[in-house]
Structure 1
Amino acid sequence: MSERELRERMAQQGRSIYERGLTAGSSGNISVRLPDGVLVTPTNSCLGRLDPDEISRLDSVGNLLSGKPPSKESFLHLAYYNARSQEQAVVHLHSTWSVAVSCLADIDPANAIPPITAYFVMRVGKLPLVPYFPPGDEELADAVGRAAKSSRGALLANHGPVIGAIDLDQAVYAIEELEETAKLFLMLRGLPTRYLTDAQVADL
């Protein structure tokens, strides 16, 4: 896709994410990797009302080249890309069910959500829990970068999910699957639950 097409796709997907209640207000941010930088949603912008021309264009180290000032979490996206060269888009949301899971005290930090369905395993895989950092803390970038070396997604404690994929559509599908599985996980808490076995996960 051309840069123009990528900008329009970001606005389209942002609107879809917002209208379906996956993030609220000005929360959440999305990005797409370019050959020489990154497109990322601007700071304090609503994903439901993105103007393609105002999307921030950064160079490979985060300097603003055009558009509005970027999300204060743009460093998180850059750290993710540095850790995973094959991924071309990243979505970070404050989606309700995933944030709820990120606040639980007894989840496995190595894999916050167990393998409930095949589609979760295929689209998300293991989901490490990244320790809590306050918004805008650049130490979060280092933590996300470490998590991304072994997993395409991560859950930020008391904050929300972040995940990448080979293109923006796939990244959106992945975070949608993560959110639905977080909902299932919470619905099943306290009930006898049959998770996928290690052999079934390996087969997938």
Structure 2
Amino acid sequence: MNENEARDEIVRVGRSLFERGYVHATAGNISVRLEDGFLITPTDACLGTLAPERLTRLDLQGRQTGGDRGSKTIALHRRIYEASAETAAPARCVIHTHSTHLVACSLRADPVQAELLPPITPYFVMKVGHVPHITYHRPGAPEAAEAVAQAIARYAQAGSPIRAVMLARLGPNVWHETPAAAMAVLEELEETARLWTLAPATPLNEAQIDELRRIFNAFW
């Protein structure tokens, strides 16, 4: 998509996420990788009331070239774009939210728990995949960005490229080729967290997961 289309999609997806309760107040952000830079939602902006012309425009080095002041999370988003570029799950859009059930699962998790959720449904396995649980760092901390990049590399090397990570106590970062596709990953991830909160279940077994790999090319 071109830049104008990307701007419109960020606004549409932001409004949809806000109206359905995936984000609240001024929490959350969305970015898109362009051929010559990035778009990202402005700092302290409500995703439900974004304006396409006010989205932050940055060059490939992360320097702002237009729009309102950008979210501090651009550093993390850029690391996701860089780290995922050569994997089977490259990012062209990154979405970060503070989705309720995902944060609740993180609050209940062991601080050093490797992954946020077990594979309890086939669609979680097929549409989301592994979700590393990144140790807590303050919002915007460079250590968090580096930990996410390391997780992306580690899972790619293991043959299970990822499309999402969970920042402990903060919220998920998900990515895909378009804002709509990234939003679909987030929706499936939050729904899985909601199900896990309501009814902790026995995970799918290895034979069932292998069947999803063979038939649906699941990354798990």
Shorter-chain TM band: over 0.9
> Are 2:124 and 1:120 equivalent residues in the alignment?
yes
Alpha-carbon distance in structure 1 between the residues aligned to 2:108 and 2:61: 34
Q: Is the 8 A contact 2:109 2:116 kept in 1?
A: no
Give the alignment's Cα RMSD to 1 decimal: 1.4
The residue matched to 2:108 in structure 1 has which SS?
coil
> Are 2:167 and 1:159 equivalent residues in the alignment?
no
> Are 2:207 and 1:199 equivalent residues in the alignment?
yes
> Are 2:189 and 1:178 equivalent residues in the alignment?
yes
Residue in structure 2 matched with residue 111 of structure 1 by the alignment: 115
Q: Is the 8 A contact 2:112 2:135 kept in 1?
A: no
Structure 1 segments, 4+ long, off by >4 Å, are: none
Residue in structure 1 matched with residue 40 of structure 2 by the alignment: 40
For structure 2, which runs of at least 5 residues remain unmatched after alignment?
A: 156-161, 213-220
CA offsets 1:100-144 (integer angstroms, 9 cap, x no match): 111123387322101111111112101110010111212211111
Give the share of equivalent positions with the same residue, in percent.
43
For structure 1, which runs of at least 5 residues remain unmatched after alignment?
A: none
AA partner of residue 205 (structure 2) = T
The residue matched to 1:103 in structure 2 has which SS?
helix
Alignment of 1:9-48 (within 5 A): 9-48=9-48
> Are 2:6 and 1:6 equivalent residues in the alignment?
yes
Alignment of 1:53-202 (within 5 A): 53-85=53-85, 86-106=90-110, 109-149=113-153, 150=155, 151-189=162-200, 193-202=201-210
The count of residues paired between Structure 1 and Structure 2 equals: 201
The residue matched to 1:33 in structure 2 has which SS?
strand
Q: Is the 8 A contact 1:61 1:78 kept in 2?
A: no
Per mean C-alpha deviation after superposition, the further-off stretch among 41-50 and 100-109 is 100-109
Under a length normalisation based on structure 1, what TM-score does the superposition of the two structures give?
Answer: 0.94
AA partner of residue 188 (structure 2) = E
Per mean C-alpha deviation after superposition, the further-off stretch among 173-182 and 117-126 is 117-126
Q: Is the 8 A contact 2:165 2:174 kept in 1?
A: yes
Per mean C-alpha deviation after superposition, the further-off stretch among 13-22 and 113-122 is 113-122
Alpha-carbon distance in structure 2 between the residues aligned to 1:184 and 1:148: 26
AA partner of residue 184 (structure 1) = L
AA partner of residue 90 (structure 1) = V
CA offsets 1:73-103 (integer angstroms, 9 cap, x no match): 1111101001111221111100100011111
The residue matched to 1:133 in structure 2 has which SS?
coil
Q: Is the 8 A contact 1:59 1:65 kept in 2?
A: yes
